[in-house]
């Protein structure tokens, strides 16, 4: 009933920019939060940025000042503007959403996108 579709990943040189997008679709009642995580082989998944349903944002220390998370109105699409990219930003970026949807009465659930590869060359 809920799908997260990501786009915007690719190859970019150090210092460049990319914008990731994640569209949540389905019978969504409300969204608690949407965010981005990143995964590097051999390392644990890391929270990059998150935005609450009310618009509050939080960022990993490593991306503060460089990345900006935002969402559309009515908030079903989240973006991650990535500037001043570094080689260490290379990872698979995964969209995450915690939300309430039609057909499930037990509370909110967490959904994940399939991931989009971001590669920063140095």
Q: Which pLDDT value is given to residue 29?
A: 87
Q: Which pLDDT value is given to residue 4?
A: 95
Q: Which pLDDT value is given to residue 74?
A: 67
* Secondary structure (H, E, C), the chain: CEEEEEECCEEEECCCCEEEEEEEEECEEEEEEEEEEEECCCCCCEEEEEEECCCCEEECHHHCCCEEEEECCCCCEEEEEECCCCHHHCEEEEEEEEEEECCCCCCCEEEECCCEEEEEEC
Structure tokens at 77: 């699409």
Q: Per-residue pLDDT for the chain (122 aa), expressed as one digit of tens each?
A: 799 999 999 999 999 999 999 999 998 989 999 999 999 999 999 999 999 989 999 999 999 999 999 998 666 899 999 999 999 999 999 999 999 988 778 889 999 999 999 999 98
Q: Which residues have a Cβ under 8 Å from the Cβ of 122 and sit 6 or more positions away?
A: 13, 14, 86, 87
CB 80 within 8 Å of CB 91: no
């Amino acid at each position: 009933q809920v799908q997260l579709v990501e786009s915007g990943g690719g190859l970019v040189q150090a210092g460049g920019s990319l914008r990731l997008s994640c569209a949540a679709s389905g019978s969504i009642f409300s969204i608690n939060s949407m965010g981005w995580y990143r995964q590097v082989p051999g390392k644990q998944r890391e929270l990059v940025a998150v935005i609450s349903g009310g618009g509050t944002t939080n960022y990993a220390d490593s991306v503060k000042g460089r990345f900006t998370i935002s969402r559309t109105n009515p908030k079903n699409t989240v973006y991650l503007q990535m500037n001043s990219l570094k080689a260490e930003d290379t990872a698979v970026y995964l969209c995450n959403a915690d939300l309430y949807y039609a057909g499930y009465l037990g509370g909110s659930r967490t959904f994940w996108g399939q991931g989009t590869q971001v590669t920063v060359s140095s």
